[in-house]
Amino acid sequence: MTQQLQDRPALSEKVITFPDAIPGFPAARRFLLRDLDEQGTFQLLESLDTEGLSLVVCVPWIFFPDYAPEIDDDLQRELAITSAADAIVFCSVTAEADELYLNLLGPFVVNATTRQGRQVVQGDAAAPVRAPVPLAG
């Protein structure tokens, strides 16, 4: 029996570029992704431009399997994404009072090949900016 773990793209070696930076940090265009755990579930998105700017990120479907971020035609065209396989999507994790939250309102969408992306503010408030992630125990 073989059960292959999905190979995650080797992002940690390559710079990811957000040409329009990210909301709140207008100088932060270039980032590295570093795995935080062996399975590659969580990464640290580290800014190469703004000192001290690092965000814990993860693939949102681990905790929210029904999450459906809008990746519209304009975004697909802008990032040259022609299929779901071209796109890497991750959301930032925030800690407050020993709880963890995912930002589902502003997912990061990156073209897996070009490594260019954008943090996409969703069009309406249906996706929470702080979606609680259950902690064990």
Partner 1 sequence: MLVLTRRTGESIHIGDDVVVTVLDVRNDQVRIGIQAPRSVKVHREELLRQVGEDNAAAAASSERAAALLGRLASPPPRSAGRDRPGR
Residues that bind partner 1 (CB under 8 A): 1-3, 20, 22-25, 36-37, 42, 44, 52-56, 74, 77-78, 92-96, 98, 100, 103, 105-106, 119, 121-125, 129-130, 133-137
Tokens at residue 44, please? 């640290």
Residue indicated by tokens 């190469």: 48
Q: Give min distance, CB of 114 to partner 1, in A.
A: 17
Nearest Cα to Cα of residue 124 among 104, 94, 108, 109? 104
Q: Give min distance, CB of 102 to partner 1, in A.
A: 10
Q: Which is nearer to partner 1, 85 or 125 (CB)?
A: 125
Q: Give min distance, CB of 22 to partner 1, in A.
A: 6
Contact residues for 58 (Cβ-Cβ < 8 A; gap 6+): 41, 42, 43, 90, 91, 93, 102
Q: Give min distance, CB of 78 to partner 1, in A.
A: 7
Q: Which is nearer to partner 1, 13 or 37 (CB)?
A: 37
Gap between the Cα atoms of 104 and 114, Å rounded? 24
